[in-house]
Amino acid sequence: MPSNAHLTQPQLRSAAGDAILVINSGSSSVKFAIFSIDDPPARLWSGAIDRIGLANGRFHAVDAAGTMAFDEAVEIADHDMALRLLLEAVDQHTTGRGLVAVGHRIVHGGAECDCATFVTETLEARLRQLAPLAPLHQPHNLAGIAAVRSARPALPQVACFDTAFHHGMPHLATLTGLPREFRDQGIRRYGFHGLSYEYVVDRLRSEDVDVDAERIIVAHLGNGASMCALKGGRSIETTMGFSTLGGLPMGTRCGDLDPGIILYLLAQADLSVDRIQHLLYEESGLLGLSGFSRNMQDLLARPEDQAAAEAVAYFCYQARSHLAALTAVLSGLDRLIFTGGIGVNAPMVRANICADLAYLGIALAPERNAQGARVISSGAGRVVIEAFPTDEEQMIARHVRRLLATLPAMQVA
């Protein structure tokens, strides 16, 4: 394990002497952020340990001002080692009482989890059973919990679920067309990216937007992508359903697919279940259509490449189609918000998605859209269109703080 001597300045600290660590564990990376215990929590540091299991790993972070604090080459064998490195760094450079808790993003909470909760052995066991529903995320999310527990068994851990925000969707929105017996086995529509949608709603409320009165669609567009229809500030429909495969095409995931294709691949192409799972989750979407990259910016940089252009066009076509469908559930639209890495940073994608939707009252202002302004709608339309970053880590820190305040021995300033 590399030395952490390079982390000596500036120090990790929070005003109250306590800090919340937020972790998002992926297959080959651990993204993290450190927040104060204040209300609302203030971001102190954020960064990642990338390329876990490879020789050319990287441990990097920026401070609250966005200044690079450190960027070092590391060689990390697994998530246990990555979390130990991270916790040692936090310990060495956090004054006062150090970490008070760790919050984890957990993609799938199942039907029972409608809010953030402290991690228990019983909860972990149930979440492991949900791993087949989110194979790209769930096992690694749980690996982060196990690694923290191994290094700090007494440190409280909080699970925050991407599915929780959609827990109150109307009954019809949760159904599939399968026989009822399968719903009893947990096969239903859940919805994802809930922490992002929850952050957007909270931000709008803080800016005095009458969220309860507006019909809103949020487009969370990134390597994972989905849309959510909001009425009364609550999710009433979303494009992702049973798994993280459904809805929009994504970086490496296919999005909605005729189930007959799966049957064909099984019966006629003689592909195994494991091979099909890898195909749908890791070889499809932008990567599969373009043949070279899952990154939207890479594709936009090669407009002369027919496959790349077609991948972008397909993404925008599907997004436009899903957006229009969600307006039917809402009986109209008052506000459209783009967020996520693509939603915030790809003006051309926003323009293509909004094209030909004037009949819904959607009209972009080309100059403001190209400049990356917060409000990008034109006076020619009646729908307010915005683009701004989401902050799932901030949302997790808020949930952790709220739960800590319920502990008898905890004094939260």
> Which CATH architecture does the domain made up of 210-392 adopt?
2-Layer Sandwich (3.30)
If DSSP states are collapsed to H, E and C, what string results for the chain? CCCCHHHCCCCECCCCCEEEEEEEECCCCEEEEEEECCCCCCEEEEEEEECCCCCCEEEEEEECCCCEEEEEEECCCCHHHHHHHHHHHHHHHECCCEEEEEEEEECCCCCCCCCCEECCHHHHHHHHHCHHHCCCCHHHHHHHHHHHHHHCCCCCEEEEECCHHHCCCCHHHHCCCCCHHHHCCCCCCCCCCHHHHHHHHHHHHHCCCCHHHCEEEEEEECCCEEEEEEECCEEEEECCCCCCCCCCCCCCCCCCCCHHHHHHHHHCCCCCHHHHHHHHHHCCHHHHHHCCCCCHHHHHCCCCCHHHHHHHHHHHHHHHHHHHHHHHHHCCCCEEEEEHHHHHHCHHHHHHHHCCCHHHCCCECHHHHHHCCCECECCCCCCEEEECCCCHHHHHHHHHHHHHCCCCCCCCC
- 162, 184, 258, 391: the active-site residue: 162
What is the reported pLDDT for 15? Answer: 41
Between 45 and 7, residue with greater pLDDT: 45
Question: Does residue 10 register a pLDDT over 60?
Answer: no
Query: Which tens digits make up the pLDDT trace of 85-140?
Result: 888 888 766 555 588 999 999 999 998 888 999 999 999 999 999 998 888 789 98
Least confident of 75-89, 264-278, 338-352: 75-89
Question: Does residue 194 register a pLDDT over 70?
Answer: yes
**Contact criterion met (CB below 8 Å) for 381 and 344:** no
38 is catalytic: no
Question: Does residue 151 register a pLDDT over 90?
Answer: no
Nearest-angstrom CA–CA distance, 289 and 279: 12
Q: How many residues does the chain have?
A: 413
Question: Can you give the pTM of this predicted structure?
Answer: 0.91
Average pLDDT over residues 311-336: 98
Residues of the chain with CATH 3.30.420.40: 5-161, 210-392
**Contact criterion met (CB below 8 Å) for 32 and 86:** yes
Distances in Å between the alpha carbon of 353 and those of 117, 188, 375? 37, 28, 16
CATH class of the domain whose range is 5-161: alpha beta
What is the reported pLDDT for 137? Answer: 86
Between 9 and 319, residue with greater pLDDT: 319
**Model confidence band, residue 8 (pLDDT cutoffs 50, 70, 90):** very low
Least confident of 131-140, 141-150, 234-243, 333-342: 131-140
Question: Does residue 1 register a pLDDT over 80?
Answer: no
